[in-house]
C-alpha cells in the first residue's frame, strides 16, 4: 500500500456550537472504509488532521481500506481527555442536560455507523478505565449493532484489557503498518 496518501477527501459532522464531533471521514480511494471508535475527539475536523487521524489513515490503507470513518465514545472536542471523562462521570450531578443529550445523540450515531460498517476498529485506549461503565455500554452498543460477519478489530490490548489507542507510547507504540487484530482473539 502507498505510504503517502494523496487526494484525501475530508469531512466531519460537528454540533452547531462546535463543541461536539459526531463523525469524521477521510476517503482516499474507492475501497471500503474502516469505522474507528476512539475515546474523544481532539482538534481534527473537516479540514485539519491531527497525529491520530494521520496514523489511522496510514493503518487503514495498509490494511486494505480506502478510508476511515471515526466516531468516539465521548463526542466532546478537547485536546485533553479530562473534560471528556468529567462529562461522562458528572453530567447528572451538574444537571448538564445538554451534555446528556449530546452523549445520547452520539450513541445513536455510533449505532448507525456500526450498522453500515463493513469492519470496526476499537481504539479508545486505557483512558476508558476512568469511565469504564460508559465504555462498557459503548462496546455493548457496538457489538449489538455490528452486522453479521463484519469483523471487530483492535490494535492490541492495554494491560487493563482495553483496545489500544493508535498513539500508544513506549514499547506499545503502534506502527503505521500494523496488522489489525480480531478483537475476540487479542
Predicted pLDDT at 42: 84
- Per residue in 52-111, pLDDT (tens digit) is 999 999 999 999 999 999 999 999 999 889 999 999 998 777 678 888 899 999 999 999
Determine the pLDDT at residue 1. 41
Domains of the chain in sequence order: 9-168 (3.40.50)
pLDDT tens, residue by residue, 1-19 = 445 788 899 999 999 999 9
- The pLDDT of residue 3 is 53
Alpha helices in 14-125 (DSSP H): 51-62, 82-94, 97-116
CA distance 36 to 23: 10
pTM: 0.94
Amino acid at each position: 500500500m502507498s505510504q503517502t496518501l494523496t487526494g484525501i477527501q475530508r469531512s466531519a459532522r460537528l454540533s452547531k456550537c462546535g463543541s461536539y464531533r459526531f463523525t469524521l471521514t477521510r476517503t482516499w480511494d474507492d475501497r471500503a472504509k474502516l469505522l474507528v471508535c476512539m475515546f474523544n475527539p481532539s482538534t481534527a475536523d473537516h479540514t485539519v488532521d491531527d497525529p491520530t487521524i494521520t496514523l489511522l489513515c496510514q493503518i487503514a490503507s495498509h490494511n486494505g481500506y480506502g478510508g476511515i470513518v471515526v466516531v468516539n465514545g465521548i463526542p466532546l472536542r478537547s485536546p485533553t481527555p479530562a473534560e471528556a471523562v468529567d462529562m461522562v462521570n458528572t453530567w447528572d450531578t451538574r444537571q448538564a442536560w445538554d451534555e446528556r443529550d449530546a452523549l445520547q445523540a452520539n450513541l445513536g450515531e455510533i449505532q448507525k455507523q456500526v450498522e453500515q460498517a463493513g469492519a470496526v476498529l476499537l481504539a479508545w485506549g486505557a483512558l476508558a478505565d476512568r469511565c469504564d461503565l460508559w465504555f462498557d455500554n459503548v462496546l455493548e452498543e457496538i457489538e449489538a449493532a455490528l452486522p453479521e460477519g463484519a469483523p471487530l478489530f483492535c490494535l492490541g490490548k492495554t494491560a487493563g484489557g482495553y483496545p489500544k489507542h493508535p498513539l500508544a507510547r513506549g514499547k506499545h507504540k503502534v506502527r503505521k503498518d500494523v496488522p489489525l487484530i480480531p478483537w475476540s482473539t487479542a
